[in-house]
Structure 1
């Protein structure tokens, strides 16, 4: 498939950039699976496994989407386009208008908080985060968080 991924930040991200990091990992994995991936992202973006087109506005984003794309996965700049599209909301913006169809959220509670049901958990490249008996400069923290009074779970490698 020819898949277009859209994000308004720069890829790769430096420091903080949760959405950008997720899109970067997704682009890598889709390309590894044999898909033709086009990344529409902010100026200065690059990716070793896909074509990168830069955009700084919704109009530039719309113009950057290839006419032969099979599907567009918006992670920002949610636009109406003449292609099948998936819109993933990564932030917490309840009450915001979402006229486009096909919205996805990143957890069950995230979807519920936005009045929806559809969600797909964020993935990450497990092999990049090895458990080690010695200290290094990274900490991986995975948690299941519950409201006060409910059972709480956490995994801290």
Structure 2
């Protein structure tokens, strides 16, 4: 899910920066375009929401399989009339969900999952962008300092 989230984030970031560059060029501004903290937070929230919505049905199936009572394996099907066996495979869980709840069953409880993960993920990506920006600035400053220091050493 993280790979999907980071892919969506990078694609949205690329489109936003390209749009900002076009606006800056049309206004005659030559300063470099950077992603603001709020934009990074918003893109992080959107990318996590997209990743969660796309992968949630599989997560729900996995939870249904894990929640199945392991003691039910010992009982014979005829001892439990009207009660279907718990799903043991992803396909079985999907079929059971489809038959019992329909499409809404695949997304049951998604609001709690989104509330739980989106805020932390958005903050993480915002901080990552700011640390990345600071690291690049620091490396460029260090390079410039070392380049100037080497010139001074050679000239003496």
Please indicate, yes or no, whether the TM-score normalized by the shorter chain is above 0.5.
Answer: no
Q: Which has the larger radius of gyration?
A: 2
Q: Where is the helix percentage greater, Structure 1 or Structure 2?
A: 2
What TM-score does the superposition give when structure 1 sets the normalisation length? 0.22
